[in-house]
Amino acid sequence: MKLKGKTLCKLVKDEVLDEDLEGYKELLREPTHFCLKCGRACNDKKCLCKPEKL
């Protein structure tokens, strides 16, 4: 997956989601954490710049 290693917060900001839309959807499935800074949810805390457990 191309998105691996980058935070979701940054990916959205850089508008590169279209490059791996399926990968992005995977990250949003059954989210376990959300970003305190951006408010985004993700199932991998490494994808968030300021992760907080849901």
Residue nearest to Zn ion (CB): 9
**Beta carbon of residue 2, minimum distance to Zn ion (angstroms, whole number):** 19
- Site residues for Zn ion per CB under 5 A: 9, 35, 37-38, 49
Q: How many residues does the chain have?
A: 54
Q: Which of 49, 50, 54, 51 is nearest to 10 (CA)?
A: 49
Q: In what order do the strands lie in the sheet with 33-35?
A: 41-42, 33-35, 51-53
**Beta carbon of residue 36, minimum distance to Zn ion (angstroms, whole number):** 8
Nearer to Zn ion, 37 or 46 (CB): 37
